[in-house]
Structure 1
Amino acid sequence: MRAGVALAALLALTGCGLQPIYAGAGNAAVAGLSSVEVAPIPGRSGWLMGNALNDRLSAAGEGTARYRLDVRLDDQLEGLGLLNDDTIGRERRTLRARYQLVDIATGSIVLDATAGSDAGIDVVSSEYATIAAEQAALERLTDEVADRIVTSVSLALREQQ
């Protein structure tokens, strides 16, 4: 009975129109990602984002830059939840990215989109621990947003082909 249910689910999934990003002729999507260069992004969060994007794009291999990825970041840290002594008990770190994929040869914008994520941080009595938590949250958010950007870019490059 379980095998029958699994087979029916598999057949339904194949008819839904979903396709893997890397489907098609060889690794065309991977080749497309390797042709994207990341423009410098200012600030510490920009340095982290640039490294995260370059790590993901260079995993596709080396290629001649055909596209440029311009990214502008908005990194906000806000206090939430006041305690009885009027101190902040919780913070929220928000990282938003507006990015454009530009065809270097023509200067035309292939993709103009945004991505973002946020994380909650407990503020504790140790200032060092709070700062370390804020930095760790920024690193996690950078990874999440970079994954979203690369997925969006790969889909846009796939549509171009």
Structure 2
Amino acid sequence: MRILLALSALFALAGCSLQPLYSAGAQGAVANGLAAIDVPAIPGRAGWLVRNALNDGLVAKGTATPKYRLDVRLDDELQGLGVLGDDTISRERRTLRARYQLIDLASGDILLDASETTDAGIDVVSSEYATIAAEQRALENLSLQLANRMITRIALTLRKEQ
């Protein structure tokens, strides 16, 4: 009975339409497409962090001559949320938004026009240094999260193009 159940599960899995995104590893079409993306400079500290995270993630997939350009615009917002009785802020929310376009350099076509948003809560403490350090660390984490989401979405787009 167990063997019959295992075989039926195996056949059901074989009929599944799921496919690995990075099939063939660094030599695969998606990995080569990601490696062929040029990311121009993005203004600001958040831009520098996001661009570095994007380049790290894209280059890790392989190396290729640029076929695509990724234009990114960022909006970094720090907002006070919790207000105490003496009008001091006790909690902040940092939001990092990206609007990006993947452009085919040969044709000039926009293959992907999308946006991503990440946010983090920050406790405001009595030490100004600790609060600034927490804000900077939040920006670093948000930049990495944003870049990873963008790379995944671009990879899905490139897989459809193949």
CA distance in 2, matches of 1:4, 1:126: 65
TM-score (norm 1): 0.90
The gaps in structure 1 that reach 5 residues or longer are none
CA distance in 2, matches of 1:10, 1:94: 44
TM-score (norm 2): 0.90
Residue 17 of structure 1 deviates from its aligned partner by: 2.1
Q: What percentage of residue pairs aligned between the two structures are identical?
A: 62
Task: Go from structure 1 to structure 2 and tell me whether the alpha carbon gap of 1:90 and 1:18 turns closer, same or farther (over 3 Å shift).
Answer: same
Residue 147 of structure 1 deviates from its aligned partner by: 0.4
The gaps in structure 2 that reach 5 residues or longer are none
Residue 18 of structure 1 deviates from its aligned partner by: 2.1
Task: Go from structure 1 to structure 2 and tell me whether the alpha carbon gap of 1:139 and 1:14 turns closer, same or farther (over 3 Å shift).
Answer: farther
Q: Give the aligned partner of residue 96 of structure 2.
A: 95
Once the two structures are superposed, residues 25-62 of structure 1 have per-residue CA deviations (whole angstroms, 9 ceiling, x without a partner) of 95111111111010110011000011000000011121
SS in structure 2 at match of 1:44: helix
CA distance in 1, matches of 2:43, 2:3: 54
Q: Give the aligned partner of residue 21 of structure 2.
A: 21
Q: Give the aligned partner of residue 159 of structure 1.
A: 160
CA distance in 1, matches of 2:68, 2:157: 12
Task: Go from structure 1 to structure 2 and tell me whether the alpha carbon gap of 1:113 and 1:9 turns closer, same or farther (over 3 Å shift).
Answer: farther
Q: Give the aligned partner of residue 67 of structure 1.
A: 68
CA distance in 1, matches of 2:43, 2:111: 23
CA distance in 2, matches of 1:51, 1:5: 49
CA distance in 2, matches of 1:150, 1:130: 30
Task: Go from structure 1 to structure 2 and tell me whether the alpha carbon gap of 1:122 and 1:23 turns closer, same or farther (over 3 Å shift).
Answer: same
Q: Once superposed, what is the RMSD of the aligned Cα atoms? A: 2.4
| Matched residues, number | 161
Q: Give the aligned partner of residue 122 of structure 1.
A: 123
Task: Go from structure 1 to structure 2 and tell me whether the alpha carbon gap of 1:35 and 1:129 turns closer, same or farther (over 3 Å shift).
Answer: same
Task: Go from structure 1 to structure 2 and tell me whether the alpha carbon gap of 1:50 and 1:10 turns closer, same or farther (over 3 Å shift).
Answer: farther
Task: Go from structure 1 to structure 2 and tell me whether the alpha carbon gap of 1:128 and 1:2 turns closer, same or farther (over 3 Å shift).
Answer: farther
Q: Give the aligned partner of residue 137 of structure 2.
A: 136
* 1:145 partner amino acid: L
